[in-house]
């Protein structure tokens, strides 16, 4: 796994719609809870209907987002079932952000198509961060609203 500089981590975080409303100081605080993770082709980043525990920002590689149909054994070795492919995500895309915030089950699976390098924020660390910096919550709502508007304008997720 290639090491990512603090400046690069901040640049990537600043490009994420969820964090678009944060100040530079708040982004620096978020950067302190970011981990870096590598995935291989076939690895499951997010499993449909499981409680999400992390937000993943893709730096390198691509993954398939699908609903109903990914079957895995212990999070590895994905098999395609009768699921519907929703999208392909790649560098700059984010998965798992809604579960990071609300702790609810995920609505789709995300499986690596290629080797991937990512930034990861785990829910437990993110929750502690928000508890210690409540002013960040309102700014995150602005970013979340921007993300929802972007999804609303996309037609590739509609029937």
- pTM for the predicted model, two decimal places: 0.80
Residue entry with tokens 């525990």: 53
Nearest to 61 by CA among 83, 88, 35: 88
Which tokens is 55 given?
Answer: 């937000």
Q: Other CB atoms closer than 10 Å to residue 51's CB: what's the count?
A: 12
From first to last of its 159 residues, the chain has per-residue pLDDT tens of 567 888 999 999 999 888 888 999 999 999 999 999 999 999 999 999 998 899 999 999 999 999 985 444 444 444 545 578 889 999 989 998 888 888 888 889 999 999 999 999 999 999 999 899 888 988 888 877 877 777 777 655 554
Domains of the chain: 6-153 (2.60.120.10)
């Amino acid at each position: 796994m290639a090491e990512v500089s603090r400046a690069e981590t901040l640049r990537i975080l600043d490009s994420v719609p969820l964090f678009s409303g944060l100040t530079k100081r708040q982004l620096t605080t978020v950067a302190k809870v970011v981990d870096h993770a590598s995935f291989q082709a076939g690895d499951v980043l997010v499993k449909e209907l499981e409680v999400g525990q992390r937000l993943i920002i893709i730096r390198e590689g691509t993954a398939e987002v699908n609903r109903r149909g990914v079957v895995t054994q212990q999070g590895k070795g994905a098999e395609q079932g009768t699921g519907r492919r929703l999208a392909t995500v790649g560098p700059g895309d984010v998965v798992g952000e809604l579960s990071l915030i609300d702790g609810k089950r995920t609505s789709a699976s995300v499986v690596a198509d290629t080797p991937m390098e990512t930034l990861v924020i785990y829910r437990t660390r993110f929750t502690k961060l928000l508890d210690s910096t409540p002013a960040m919550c309102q700014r995150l709502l602005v970013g979340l609203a921007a993300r929802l508007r972007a999804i609303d304008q996309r037609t590739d997720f509609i029937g």
